[in-house]
Structure 1
Amino acid sequence: MLLSGAAWAETVEVHMLNRGEAGTMVFEPAFVQIAPGDTVKFIPTDKSHNAESMDEMMPEGAEGFKGKINEEIDVTFDVEGLYGVKCLPHFAMGMVMTVAVGEDVEMPADYLEGRLPKKAKERFEEQLSNL
């Protein structure tokens, strides 16, 4: 019997919260490491949040995504590498997370060089210490 790779794909839930273990305006968990083909389900546990990819913080060839405010969105990550994810309304408050796809993911040298709000950069640095 043959099984397709999709049969083994996993779904990881990430909650968008006004307050969590790491403070205010957070994704929980803020860092996930998944295999190519796995899905992240972004759940607006608290209202007024969205999840969207950051074009300058994703692997070449990867497809971006943008959820609507208060929308639960499932995103399947097929391209290995790092993905920065933000909540647009709360980006300046540091509401960001990192999705690492693959086993041996390395941070590109220029990954944090874009124009990031101070709190967002601090949270990305903390998340990337998990690599």
Structure 2
Amino acid sequence: MLKKTNQQIQHKTYEMHKPSVSEGMHIAAISAGAEGATAFIQVVIQQRKEGKFIKDYDLDDWYEILEKTGVGSIKGGVRGISIYALTNYAATPAAVANSLCTISFGLAHQLYLYRNGVIDQHQFLINSENL
């Protein structure tokens, strides 16, 4: 009797807290906002180090801020949903899921540099191995 009651409680608790698409989207939105805000702050700090104040920004400065904030938001959303999916559906530890996601972004960047001729094949392989 006690074992059956315990199983019922466990099943009910699992059903209440199981992963869902809506929760995944919520996590992706939070992650996108956090990474986008971080990217925004980094650009403003970098421009401040260059001697520019926000009141002195021109259209190009705002374009750079918007671009980097947007890219950061997209990366954050992808990172959030990827880590959520890996941890909840593939039983991957969060640290491993985060590492896989970060390495994927790094490899994508290296591939971009290689395809645009910024680095050669040898440098691409070295950088990829380092990641």
Give the TM-score category using the shorter length.
Answer: under 0.3
Higher helix share: 2
Q: TM-score scaled by structure 2?
A: 0.27
- TM-score of the aligned structures, taking structure 1 as reference length: 0.27
Give 1 or 2: higher strand fraction: 1
